[in-house]
A = this chain, B = another copy of it.
């Protein structure tokens, strides 16, 4: 080794030891007679000291070192007179006896500091420098730790990690596949997996009993902010279980991760049905760090000639605690906020519940004190609170109110990133109707089993059938979701038929799974966690990008390596492919 120690481990116990350290020059201070250099590596920072009086040649060498030079220093550990108790190595320094420049560095395009002067684009282009910064480095180390602890838990529970193939088969269900042309089978393509769903089910048929994998998945979607074309899942499946068994197993995983990573026990996870989540939060991933539930006050507003409410399919209210003092300007600003196209409300009604018990609302001319009092009661509002009301078409209003609730939670500081509230959302609808495609879609995926008690409605009233499906939601973020699967061949066939697959299509695309079900498929179910998202949640960040070593931008481009890129005509010829020019497609 070029070093005896790292830059993060020497302390007062090491005084007088001869050591060799390697690392990068973080900063250099020249105080006339003395030169101090902060030497950085992954593990920390250690101060190097050079003294003009004792070794002027060496000291002058040290003064020539630029930022990010890679050096190796031999010296002796000494106690610092000027201690820095904020870092573990802050009580010692190294009196350097010899110095070697292992590699010089040009001045980096941005500063390697926690708060850098580099913008996003520059940092992405020089990602290898960005990772030198503490926040990014720590994010990647956190990710490694979450993966390691996940494996410890699952291995303990007898889950076997099994790798499923990356070169698989394209299926039209779900999002768009990335495809890979096969040179050995010209005109044919592999697809990259959107998830190992069918393979993990086959592993259950194969008797593997408990499977997991921390695995890359791929989706060729138009990228929204903070979506990546390749992402990582913790993918799990178990046999001979019901829904409760799966929930309890993976509640255990998440609790253990919080204990190991955040040193906090999040306790037992509450359960909430999809119907309740939509009713109380307008959202199937409710942020339950704060209350402010949606209240339907439609009946309380009826018949007073306020056309907006009377014509509305629904009238929803939330109570913002202690906000009665909001100024007209603040309320107008909120009204503009809900009128933005992203939410699209026509307006917002407010009701101030004054400290003295009186009311002030924007619809005073339609509603008397008695009406407003009922609204306030319905919202559990007390003096000093502000009630905000949206009205209109059911789905849109509920969605808009959910957004407004989250916004108010944010403004009121109720969404603290160091507080974690997890829950299970259960009893999702099995199907949702696509107006665009004029057919039913699987809300989770086509392999999810209906609830046995709803089975008879599968033909008569598909929309009302609930699934054995569940999501884990933490702080308003869906971190994982899964279901108990269909293991019966005829039910799976029926499902494909409800989803509009012809028998031929079902056979062509999922024949291998249907075939497998002929040979003794056990009851099974599982879950997949979004690993990037989970890491960003543990790290207290909204962005998954910092938790991915080499992420792509919103055009699916890696700006560091400049990919995707053109390939040679020889490569195309070998693949028997031709790229259509704009001309061809006219």
**Cβ–Cβ < 8 Å partners of A192 in chain B:** 166, 180
**Cβ–Cβ < 8 Å partners of A308 in chain B:** none
Please determine whether A180 and B179 come into contact, CB atoms closer than 8 angstroms: yes
Q: Indicate if A296 sits at the interface (CB-CB under 8 A).
A: no
**Cβ–Cβ < 8 Å partners of A68 in chain B:** 519-520
CB < 8 Å: which of B140, B181, B198, B202 contacts A179?
B181
Q: In the complex, what's the smallest C-beta–C-beta distance from A304 to chain B, in angstroms?
A: 53
Q: Indicate if A556 sits at the interface (CB-CB under 8 A).
A: yes
Give the nearest-CB partner of A223 in chain B: B184
Q: Indicate if A31 sits at the interface (CB-CB under 8 A).
A: no
Please determine whether B131 and A190 come into contact, CB atoms closer than 8 angstroms: no
Q: Indicate if A577 sits at the interface (CB-CB under 8 A).
A: yes
Q: Indicate if A561 sits at the interface (CB-CB under 8 A).
A: yes
A43-B209, A206-B131, A567-B189 known; A240-B2 Cβ under 8 A: yes
Give complex CA distance A199, B130 in Å: 14
Give the nearest-CB partner of A161 in chain B: B144
Please determine whether A577 and B576 come into contact, CB atoms closer than 8 angstroms: no
- Residue-by-residue, is A106-143 near B (CB-CB < 8 Å gives 1, otherwise 0)? 10100000000000000000111111100001001101
Please determine whether A579 and B549 come into contact, CB atoms closer than 8 angstroms: no
**Cβ–Cβ < 8 Å partners of A104 in chain B:** 520
Q: Indicate if A418 sits at the interface (CB-CB under 8 A).
A: no
Most buried by B among A40, A190, A229, A568: A190
Interface residues in A478-527 (C-beta closer than 8 Å to B):
487-488, 511-512, 515-523
Interface residues in A181-216 (C-beta closer than 8 Å to B):
181-192, 198-199, 202-203, 205-210, 216
CB < 8 Å: which of B167, B183, B216 contacts A163?
B216
Give complex CA distance A192, B515 in Å: 31
**Cβ–Cβ < 8 Å partners of A571 in chain B:** 170, 176-177, 179
Please determine whether B2 and A523 come into contact, CB atoms closer than 8 angstroms: yes
Please determine whether B148 and A579 come into contact, CB atoms closer than 8 angstroms: no
Interface residues in A562-586 (C-beta closer than 8 Å to B):
562-568, 571, 574-580, 584-585
Identical chains in the assembly: 2
**Cβ–Cβ < 8 Å partners of A126 in chain B:** 515, 519
Q: Indicate if A399 sits at the interface (CB-CB under 8 A).
A: no
Please determine whether A557 and B185 come into contact, CB atoms closer than 8 angstroms: yes
CB < 8 Å: which of B132, B143, B177, B577 contacts A207?
B132
**Cβ–Cβ < 8 Å partners of A568 in chain B:** 172
**Cβ–Cβ < 8 Å partners of A2 in chain B:** 240-242, 523
Interface residues in A524-572 (C-beta closer than 8 Å to B):
548-550, 552, 555-558, 560-568, 571
CB < 8 Å: which of B190, B208, B558, B577 contacts A140?
B208
Please determine whether A41 and B550 come into contact, CB atoms closer than 8 angstroms: no
Give the nearest-CB partner of A169 in chain B: B563
Please determine whether B566 and A24 come into contact, CB atoms closer than 8 angstroms: no
CB < 8 Å: which of B105, B141, B516, B567 contacts A519?
B105
Please determine whether A564 and B519 come into contact, CB atoms closer than 8 angstroms: no
Q: Indicate if A380 sits at the interface (CB-CB under 8 A).
A: no
CB < 8 Å: which of B103, B137, B190, B552 contacts A208?
B137
Q: Indicate if A428 sits at the interface (CB-CB under 8 A).
A: no
Interface size class of A (residues with CB under 8 A): 35 or more
Q: In the complex, what's the smallest C-beta–C-beta distance from A560 to chain B, in angstroms?
A: 5
CB < 8 Å: which of B69, B191, B198 contacts A520?
B69
Give complex CA distance A155, B126 in Å: 27
**Cβ–Cβ < 8 Å partners of A166 in chain B:** 166, 192, 216, 218, 230
Please determine whether A162 and B144 come into contact, CB atoms closer than 8 angstroms: yes
Q: In the complex, what's the smallest C-beta–C-beta distance from A177 to chain B, in angstroms?
A: 8
Q: In the complex, what's the smallest C-beta–C-beta distance from A324 to chain B, in angstroms?
A: 49
Please determine whether A168 and B563 come into contact, CB atoms closer than 8 angstroms: yes
Give complex CA distance A515, B575 in Å: 32
A187-B579, A206-B131 known; A564-B182 Cβ under 8 A: yes
Please determine whether A163 and B548 come into contact, CB atoms closer than 8 angstroms: yes
Q: Indicate if A410 sits at the interface (CB-CB under 8 A).
A: no
**Cβ–Cβ < 8 Å partners of A131 in chain B:** 203, 206-208
Please determine whether A140 and B128 come into contact, CB atoms closer than 8 angstroms: no
For the complex of A and B, list the 7 residue pairs with the smallest distance between their C-beta atoms, beginning with the closest.
A105-B520, A131-B206, A169-B563, A188-B564, A182-B564, A42-B209, A128-B206
Q: A127-B202, A151-B151, A188-B564 are in contact. List 12 more A-B contacts (CB 8 A).
A: A1-B245, A72-B240, A103-B488, A126-B515, A126-B519, A128-B206, A140-B208, A165-B230, A167-B229, A184-B222, A203-B549, A577-B580
Q: What are 30 A-B interface contacts by the 8 Å CB criterion? A: A22-B522, A41-B209, A68-B519, A103-B487, A104-B520, A105-B519, A126-B519, A127-B202, A137-B207, A141-B160, A147-B161, A151-B151, A164-B549, A166-B166, A166-B192, A167-B552, A168-B558, A168-B561, A170-B567, A172-B568, A178-B190, A179-B571, A182-B556, A183-B220, A188-B566, A189-B565, A189-B566, A199-B550, A577-B579, A578-B584
Question: Residues of A at under 8 Å CB distance from B?
Answer: 1-3, 6, 22, 24, 40-43, 68-70, 72, 102-106, 108, 126-132, 137, 140-141, 143-144, 147-148, 151, 155, 160-170, 172, 176-192, 198-199, 202-203, 205-210, 216, 218, 220, 222-223, 229-230, 232, 239-242, 245, 487-488, 511-512, 515-523, 548-550, 552, 555-558, 560-568, 571, 574-580, 584-585
